[in-house]
Amino acid sequence: MQAPGPSQWMYINVILEGSELFIPIVQSPEPKVVQPQTSTASESGILMAWKGLRFGYFWGGCNETILRINADHLSAVGRSSAMSPQQVHAAFSIPPLF
């Protein structure tokens, strides 16, 4: 017989180091299939880069769950196809939090 109380915890961590993610923004109203490709200066979208990014999902205890995202040197830049590659709409950077 098991003693009553909280159960053990299970942890899943996914860590991405030194990566980038480009999210294209479709400007035309017609739906179209977008093929995966390397972003070019003619595309509009958001470019995110980070030194370290961790997604953590934890569950256990008394049916508790936790989702945590930690970023180390996260930056994002928005760009439009109407602007030159040297110009950006907005940029921000978050320094390490720990």
- 89 falls in which pLDDT band (50, 70, 90)? very low
Assess if residue 48 is contained within a domain: yes
Answering whether pTM is above 0.75, one says no
Assess if residue 30 is contained within a domain: no
Assess if residue 14 is contained within a domain: yes
Assess if residue 37 is contained within a domain: no
d(CA 95, CA 50) in angstroms, rounded, equals 10
Q: CA 72, 45, 69: angle at the middle one, nearest 5?
A: 25
Where are any strands of DSSP class E within 25-73?
A: 45-61, 64-72
What is the domain extent for residue 47? 7-23+42-94
Assess if residue 2 is contained within a domain: no
3-state helix, strand, coil in the chain (%, to 5): 0, 55, 45
Question: According to the model, what pLDDT value does residue 98 have?
Answer: 47
Assess if residue 62 is contained within a domain: yes
Structural domain total, the chain: 1
Assess if residue 1 is contained within a domain: no
Place of tokens 């958001």: 46
Assess if residue 35 is contained within a domain: no
For the chain, the average pLDDT equals 75
pLDDT single digits (tens) 40-69: 555 788 888 999 999 999 998 888 899 999
Is the pLDDT at 29 greater than 80? The verdict is no
d(CA 17, CA 96) in angstroms, rounded, equals 14
